[in-house]
Structure 1
Amino acid sequence: MTTTTKKTTARRATGDCFEGAALSFLQSRGLRLVRANFLCRHGEIDLVMRDGPTLVFVEVRYRRSSAFGGALGSVTAAKRRKLISAAHLWLGWHPNDAQRPCRFDVLAFEGDTVEWIRAAFDADGAR
């Protein structure tokens, strides 16, 4: 196994750990899982959940510290565009969900803290 593969595997394991923590956090607050790790040509949506009638596309971010903008700052305009494009594909493939209100949430883990930003940005990518 190459160093790059080991690094990628470790990074994926860390991501899986925090996505699991995010899922538990959100479920404890009443959200229901629809799909984890929705992959498409535009990227990945970490969690697709329901909050009552609302469909929620969740991006999970982790950073050890707030250096370089921290977890929340790592959701760049380019990342928001990819998430929005992936959400449009989801809605196209799931017509019943296309009739629901939708929002984009970010669950940011930074060190030992977690911050849940509901409606972190809209479908135009604006915060």
Structure 2
Amino acid sequence: MNTREIGNKYEDKSVEILIKNSYKILERNYQNKFGEIDIIAQKYDEIVFVEVKYRKTNKFGYGYEAVDRKKLFKIVKLAQLYMQSKKYEKYKMRFDCMSYLEDELDWIKNIVWGDEIGF
């Protein structure tokens, strides 16, 4: 299995978990000029931008550690454009990371706060 196939497998798992937790999936692999977000979901009045990361081992760190300040800044800019394009001004935004170490999930909700990336 190549890295794209592995990525798709864990994105699929994440979508299943989100749906089981009453999230509506709005987009998968959404792209704009700032990059790509793996999953965009909605629950109640909140739009959730989900970055999915997978690691076979933690030898080089956990998946969520790859969501650094630079990556967070891109995700936030991407999310702002998405919200404007869909006219979702009335919704709140949240940024999550679903990080897998083999098949063990660490779902970090609210991975980013404005102060962390200079907003």
TM-score normalised over the length of structure 2: 0.90
Query: How far apart in 1 are the matches of 2:81 and 2:13?
Result: 26
How far apart are the structure 2 equivalents of 1:20 and 1:101?
24
Alignment partner, residue 98 of structure 2: 107
- The gaps in structure 1 that reach 5 residues or longer are 1-8
Question: 2: distance between equivalents of 1:29 and 1:65?
Answer: 27
* Distance in 2 separating the partners of 1:77 and 1:66: 20
Distance 1:123 1:27 in 2: 27
C-alpha displacement of 1:98: 2.0
Closer, same or farther: CA 123–49 of 1 in aligned 2, 3 Å: farther
Larger helix percent: 1
Q: Distance in 1 between matches of 2:49 and 2:26?
A: 10
The amino acid of 2:97's aligned partner reads V
TM-aligned CA deviation for residue 123 of structure 1: 4.2
Structure 1 residues 39 and 79: CA distance shift in structure 2, 3 A: same
**Which residues in structure 2 correspond to 1:3-42 (within 5 Å)?**
10-42=2-34
Amino acid at match of 2:84: G
Corresponding residue of 1:122: 113
Partner amino acid for 1:51?
A: K
Structure 2 CA distance for aligned equivalents of residues 58 and 124 of structure 1: 19
Which ranges of structure 2 fall in alignment gaps of 5 or more residues? none
- The residue type paired with residue 108 of structure 2 is I
Q: When the two structures are aligned, how many residues end up with a matched partner?
A: 117
CA displacement at 1:122 relative to structure 2:
2.5
Say which one has the larger Rg: 1
